[in-house]
Amino acid sequence: MKRFFKNAAFKAFAVAAGFLLFGSLLSFGLRGGSSPLNSLVALVFSPLQGVCTWGVNHFRDALKYFESSAALRTELEKAKNEVAALQERVVDYDEQQQKLSLYEEFLEIKRENPKYDFQEASIIAWSSNGSYDTFTLNRGTLAGIKVQNPVLLGYRLAGVVVKADLTSCVVQTVLNPALHVGVYETATLEVGTLSTAEELSREGYCSIQNLQRSTSISAAGLICTSGLGGVFPKNLIIGTVREIRDDEQALSAIAVIEPAIDFSNLRDVFVLRAF
């Protein structure tokens, strides 16, 4: 607004308005008539009156512009707030849908295995090295969680608790090279041990090492827990076979497994406290 009063158009308008005021006073002093002086005044100040009228209208339009701009800014700000509120509601809805899906799977498992004892938990941190081989949950011993408790997403095995304090616990996932799980392939019933190599873990895969070169396991085979060792219940899903590789150094074969869980989107899980 200050810039408007300082610009050349406004200054010209002010000068013209001064002349018009002077002319009006002069005309009033002469009280009309058709004297040469009246004619001269009319001749000089009539154009100025038109300029001043234009200036007044222009000034009025400028004020309306500023008023409408302020109203527009207010409406835009209101619209932005409404959009932000809707986005928050969408995020909340998506989170609730994910939790609903999780609990639906949990209830199905619970119906089929009434002796299973679960504790719901949420991930609060991932491994500091940027991989998906370890995460921390917001539940600990106060919630009945112990070391070696399996961690599940529905029927899928996420990992196992390796450390627990009062209010949190640390979980090694199936992508962790330190985790060993007895498994089998559902079509051939061939058994093995999940023992992931570090290079595969970095790629987001786990593996079954030391298979016979003549293994019957093939790509797309389903890998589940065998239940051997007593740490994990039988038939939890690990993932599917991506490919079979020959291990030239060990004269054996390796089954590369793609996990059934997308760890990049994992948020909530269930800890199996007893089975």
Q: What is the pLDDT of residue 14?
A: 59
pTM: 0.66
Class of domain 180-263: mainly beta
Does residue 41 register a pLDDT over 50? Answer: no
Does residue 187 register a pLDDT over 60? Answer: yes
Cβ–Cβ under 8 Å, residues 254 and 211: yes
Q: What is the pLDDT of residue 82?
A: 74
Q: Which CATH superfamily is domain 120-173+267-274 in?
A: Rod shape-determining protein MreC, domain 1 (2.40.10.340)
Mean pLDDT of 198-203: 91
Q: What is the pLDDT of residue 153?
A: 93
**Per-residue pLDDT tens digits for 65-86:** 666 667 767 777 777 777 777 6
Listed residue (182, 214, 213, 212) closest to 195, CA to CA:
182
Cβ–Cβ under 8 Å, residues 116 and 271: no
Listed residue (231, 232, 222) closest to 258, CA to CA:
222
**Per-residue pLDDT tens digits for 120-134:** 999 999 998 888 999
Percent of the chain with pLDDT over 90: 48
